[in-house]
Structure 1
Amino acid sequence: MIVLTTPRLEMRPIEREEWPLFLKLYQNDNVMKFIGDIETPAQIRYRFDQRLGKWDKYSDFWLCLVIRERATGEAIGLTGFFPDWRPYQQAEVGFMLLPEYQGKGYGQESLHEVVNYAFKICGFHRLQANVLEGNLPSRRLLERCGFRLEGTLRESYRIGGEWHNDWLLGLLRSDIATT
């Protein structure tokens, strides 16, 4: 089983009993503001079910890790990545935190450990993140973890019936030695 730890956090693959956390995150307007439209509980359940199961770097679904505070055991968010191992050895990273845990460094702490796992254990060559233009806190978090802005994808994402630009950020395994 995958277990990632930091001084304050522990991250493990999501399990069926964590459905309430998943639903709470995906129904929270503040969390979803830069991620996507609020879906029906049935649509959210479908997303949740897609992330269950034994994961490896060849999987065709998200490695979805529940972020917990080590001191309290409280579940505070999700992080992970979607692999594209064959043939690219790349993955897209993502993270979501409950609003009351944002701005406390948990996102950066958890992402740093996810990046280490992706490069050192899984052997990925490149990680990327798409961030809705205007979501400066997420962009800054990624940049603090070594990601670099690679460009803007014009009108590449639709939220609330409107098209939005995405910032594309990337990190190469070779960048880690220089960050």
Structure 2
Amino acid sequence: MTAPLLAEGSMCLRPLDARDEDLYLRLHASAQTMRHVSAVVDADTARSRFSAACRMTQSPDPAYWMWAVSMTDPADDAGIALLMADGTSAEIGMLLLPEWQGRGLGTCAVRTLTDYGFNTLGVARVESRQGAHNVGWERLMERSGFQRVEEAMVRPDWLRWRRERG
């Protein structure tokens, strides 16, 4: 099994492939998109990371799968989503282009990834990390049934969220 196509309504999570390079570069070059994640990277670094992400997404091991987040109506690429699973737990993350933020697409993608982790991969919990000042992601996690985990993070400016199966 490799990363599957996942869809809900007009939102589609399509396994990352070569046609998504421009989207990946655009996301990682945007200070607005990266402000809560990490520093903007140069094009060569982003291309190298993109190639690695595509290779891992084609792996049968869900340790690191990435999808292009797309809308089917209207047809448009909106961002990328990530799921890293280790058998008992999964971590999810997402980058959306600024014009797609705050429009419900993130909620749909988080629900789809969480359901996939629980129902297909059989993990016991799904987690996510965020920059402490990312209010949009915090609200999304709360709406999606995640609980804030009050334990020390490696980076003190990050928060951790967890949702248990059940």
Q: TM-score, normalised by structure 2?
A: 0.91
SS at 1:82 equivalent = strand
SS at 1:113 equivalent = helix
Amino acid at match of 1:38: V
Q: Matches of residues 156-175 of structure 1 in structure 2 within 5 Å?
A: 156-157=154-155, 164-174=156-166
Question: Structure 2 CA distance, aligned partners of 1:153 and 1:17?
Answer: 39
Question: Structure 1 CA distance, aligned partners of 2:86 and 2:45?
Answer: 24
Which runs of 5 or more structure 1 residues have no equivalent in the other structure? 158-163, 175-179
Checking the alignment, whether the CA contact within 8 Å between 1:12 and 1:66 is kept in structure 2 is: yes
Is the alpha carbon distance of 1:7 and 1:59 closer, same or farther for their aligned partners in structure 2, counting shifts above 3 Å? closer
Residue 89 of structure 2 aligns with which residue?
Answer: 90
Question: Structure 1 CA distance, aligned partners of 2:152 and 2:47?
Answer: 29
4+ runs deviating over 4 angstroms: none
Residue 102 of structure 2 aligns with which residue?
Answer: 103
Residue 20 of structure 1 aligns with which residue?
Answer: 22
The count of residues paired between Structure 1 and Structure 2 equals: 162
Residue 129 of structure 1 aligns with which residue?
Answer: 128
Q: TM-score, normalised by structure 1?
A: 0.84
Residue 145 of structure 2 aligns with which residue?
Answer: 146
The correspondence for 2:65, drawn from 46, 49, 63, is 63
Question: Structure 2 CA distance, aligned partners of 1:116 and 1:77?
Answer: 19
Q: What is the CA RMSD across the aligned residues, in angstroms? A: 1.5
Residue identity (%): 22
Shift of 1:166: 1.0
Shift of 1:70: 1.1
